[in-house]
């Protein structure tokens, strides 16, 4: 009797210890305010794997769409790839990009569980969406990632960082920096005599913005302009429809 009580207490204590050592992994924050229309790409230098990784804001600024097209892939895969913390320096040294983008600081272990992408390192793209399998000489992938951020100033922001491809032994094969190719619509400015929203302002593709850092001169967010215009035009459409319906009812 005493023995069994003691044993069950021991059992409970052991269970407690096991539960403690499996602390839940931190979860990444889903990004819903990426700048609509923003497009960037990382073009590989092409001395082995060729191709590029194009990223853009998901619909309505929700998540980041990744489109990857590669060719000339060596035979000795599988290859993993990640967003790394630092950019590639001028000399192309992929080692200088340091570790994976990991704003939640969950670390490398345990390995990423694809079914719980929010618990993976934000930069562990092959962990979340699959590696380049052995034997394929070309690779294309397209997916929406909820956690990588296009919002400057946030920990998961990655357009000032790099993408790195690895051999199975983790040696770095190739790497490239992201460059903004389209900053998205310029801030909307109200023009009383204007005939159309599209003529309101030039598209913001000035090179200063592609190197990152400088906010747009007006300091307003480029994103909301189109959205608020279409909201107001939607409102008037709805109002017109409602008006029509009421006329019919009378
Ligand atoms: C590349 O970067 C790593 C890490 O910063 C450094 O240790 C190494 O010396 C660099 N190699 C070259 C060739 O610059
Ligand atoms: C990239 O941008 C983020 C957010 O703005 C910042 O915290 C980080 O230090 C930057 N990293 C580099 C390498 O510039
Ligand atoms: C890793 O693998 C590549 C390709 O097979 C090879 O060229 C390289 O020497 C290996 N590096 C190490 C450190 O074993
Ligand atoms: Cu990596």
Q: In this structure, which residue's CA is closest to atom 8 in ligand 3?
A: 171
**Closest-approaching ligand to the CA atom of 168:** 3
H-helix segments, the chain: 2-21, 125-129, 207-210, 223-249
Task: Please give the helix or strand (H or E) that residue 143 lies within, else none.
Answer: strand 139-145
Q: What is the pLDDT along the chain (250 residues), one digit of tens a residue?
A: 444 444 444 444 444 444 445 789 999 999 999 999 999 999 999 999 999 999 999 999 999 999 999 999 999 999 999 999 999 999 999 999 999 999 999 999 999 999 999 999 999 999 999 999 999 999 999 999 999 999 999 999 999 999 999 999 999 999 999 999 999 887 666 666 555 444 444 444 443 433 333 344 443 444 333 333 344 444 443 444 434 444 434 3
Half-sphere exposure of residue 239, counting CA atoms within 13 Å on the CB side?
A: 6
Q: Which domains does the chain show, CATH number per domain?
A: 39-182 (2.60.40.200)
Pair 65, 55: CB distance under 8 Å: yes
| Whether the CB of 160 sits within 6 Å of ligand 2 | yes
**pTM as predicted:** 0.73
Pair 100, 112: CB distance under 8 Å: no
Task: Collect residues with CB below 5 Å from ion ligand 4.
Answer: 82, 164
**Cβ partners under 8 Å of residue 34, min gap 6:** 57, 58, 61, 62, 63, 64, 149, 150, 151
CA distances from 101 to 28, 165, 210 (A): 12, 14, 21
């Amino acid at each position: 009797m005493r023995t069994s009580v003691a044993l069950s207490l021991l059992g409970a204590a052991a269970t407690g210890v096991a539960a403690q050592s499996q602390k839940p992994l931190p979860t990444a924050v889903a990004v819903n305010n990426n700048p609509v229309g923003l497009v960037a790409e990382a073009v590989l230098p092409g001395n082995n794997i060729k191709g590029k990784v194009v990223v853009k804001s998901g619909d309505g600024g929700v998540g980041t769409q990744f489109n990857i097209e590669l060719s000339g892939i060596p035979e000795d895969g599988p290859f993993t790839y990640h967003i790394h913390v630092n950019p590639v320096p001028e000399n192309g040294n992929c080692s200088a990009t340091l570790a994976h983008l990991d704003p939640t600081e969950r670390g490398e272990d345990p390995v990423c569980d694809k079914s719980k992408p929010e618990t993976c390192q934000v930069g562990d793209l092959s962990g979340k969406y699959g590696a380049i399998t052995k034997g394929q000489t070309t690779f294309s992938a397209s997916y929406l990632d909820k956690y990588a951020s296009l919002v400057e100033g946030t920990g998961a922001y990655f357009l000032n960082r790099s993408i790195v491809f690895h051999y199975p032994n983790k040696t770095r094969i190739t790497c490239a920096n992201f460059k903004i190719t389209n900053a998205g619509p310029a801030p909307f400015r109200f023009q009383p005599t204007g005939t159309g929203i599209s003529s309101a302002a030039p598209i913001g593709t000035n090179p200063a913005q592609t190197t990152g850092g400088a906010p747009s001169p007006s300091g307003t967010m480029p994103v909301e302009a189109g959205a608020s215009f279409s909201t107001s035009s939607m409102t008037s459409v709805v109002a017109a429809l409602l008006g029509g319906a009421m006329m019919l009812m009378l």
